[in-house]
Each structure stands twice: as structure tokens, then as C-alpha cells.
Amino acid sequence: MTTIAIIGAGPGLGAAVARRFGAEGFDVALVARGREHLDKLVAELTGINARGYVADVRDARALGAALDQAAQELGPIEVLQYSPIPQKEFLKPVLETTTDDVRAAFEFSVLGPVTAVQAVLGGMRELGRGSVLFVNGGSGARPNPKVAGTSIAFAGEGAYGSMLHDTLAAEGIHAGQLIVPGAITPGHPTHDPDVLAERLWQMHTSRGEFRVYAEPLP
């Protein structure tokens, strides 16, 4: 049995992805900052072998330890999903964005992914397969001066993911990025959590291009 690790797991997309991959036999490691939040989410995932692990993505040691523990307890991590929700300070207009804001966004969206990938890559190589799936908003593909922090940091995350896609494909490991312009919205034809979870499942199984859009950018 193998595992999907969902970084930034929440009751919307994270829960939907847990259900979708869990239905295919995956164990589920949910990683987020709050124990109470994780315990509630695990309790709601009936019929799925899921466990919660507390870590802040800006704390490299805690994030790496959480993923190592998940692999030991649940089995090797075959799929890594990196999709934490950006913090408010990353969403300021460009002229109001400080160096501290950019530094924090870089830790969140670049150093966090690098830490997570380094923690799981050895296991994927032992399996001979795997997927690294990034989920970003529209500023991950088109810089937006209204949300400068994410625009800057998502560019770095996208570049890192694209290089992983090109470098790891020969080893059977796929890297992909799902761009979701606008808010994730229950009942929306393209932005509903279950719809997006299905897109991520298809990205894992079809192993196509790096960047996939939930809908075209306007």
C-alpha cells in the first residue's frame, strides 16, 4: 500500500483529494498546522485510512519530520500534493509588499516545496514511480500586482516544479501544476473541490504536461 501526502490539508480541496485517492486504495497523510483541525478532518474521512501530522510549511525541520513519520506509519509516499492556502501578507498590492513579505512568501511557496520533495523523493525512487502535484491560483501562471507575494513566490514554485517535471520523468516520477483561477467553490462546474480532486487524479494517472488549468485564464 502506498500513501498520498496532502500538504495544507483542509475541509475543501484537501478532503476531496483524500476521498478521491482513498477510493483508489491510497492511505492518506494530512499535513496542516493545527491538531484539532486535523483530528476533525480525519474523523470525517470514514472508510479511509487517514492520519494527521502537524507541521508549518515554513518550518523545514517540522515538515520533513512529518513526512518521514507519515512514510513510516502509512507506507511510502507515492503522491505528494502541495496546496497550502497563502497567508494574508502574501496578498498585498505590489507597492505595499515589503521584503519581509516576500521572504515569508518564498519560505512558504519555494522552500516548503523543496523541503517536501526532498523528504519524499527517495521513497518514490524506491517505488519506481510517483507524482508531485502543486496547486496554485491564477497568479501562479500570470503575475498579478494586486497579490504580489504569491505572484513572486508562485513563479519560483512553478519554475521548480517545471524542472522536476523535465528531470524526473525518466524515473517514472511526474510533476504537475494545477492552476485554479479564482476561489475553490462548492457546486462550481470547474472549481468544485470534487471536480478539482478528479483533475488531480487524472494528472497523477495520465502524466501529461506540467501545467494544467482548471479553466482558461481570462
CATH number at residue 119: 3.40.50.720
Q: Per the domain annotation, does 181 fall within a domain?
A: yes
Q: Per the domain annotation, does 62 fall within a domain?
A: yes
Instruction: Give the pLDDT confidence of 188-198 residue by residue, as tens digits.
Output: 999 999 999 99
Q: Per the domain annotation, does 7 fall within a domain?
A: yes
Inter-residue contact 94 to 123 (CB < 8 Å): no
Place of cell 508549518: 56
Q: Per the domain annotation, does 186 fall within a domain?
A: yes
Nearest to 77 by CA among 23, 14, 131, 33: 131
Amino acid at 135: V
- The pLDDT-based confidence of 88 (bands split at 50, 70, 90) is confident
Regarding pTM above 0.85, the answer is yes
Q: Locate the DSSP E strands across the chain.
A: 3-7, 27-32, 50-54, 77-82, 130-137, 173-180, 211-213
Tallying the residues shown for the chain, one arrives at 218
pLDDT over threshold 90, residue 28 = yes
C-alpha cell at 19: 476521498
**Mean pLDDT score of the chain:** 96
- The mean pLDDT value for 63-92 works out to 95
pLDDT over threshold 80, residue 184 = yes
Inter-residue contact 181 to 4 (CB < 8 Å): no
pLDDT over threshold 80, residue 119 = yes
Q: What does the pLDDT read at residue 111?
A: 98
H helix runs in 45-111, sequence order: 60-74, 99-106
- The pLDDT-based confidence of 218 (bands split at 50, 70, 90) is confident
Q: Per the domain annotation, does 81 fall within a domain?
A: yes
Q: Per the domain annotation, does 218 fall within a domain?
A: no
How much is the CA Rg of the chain, to the nearest whole Å? 16
Q: What is the domain extent for residue 68?
A: 3-213
Q: How far apart are the first and last CA of the chain?
A: 41
Inter-residue contact 161 to 197 (CB < 8 Å): no
Give the C-alpha separation, 6 to 197, whole Å: 12
Into how many domains does the chain fold? 1
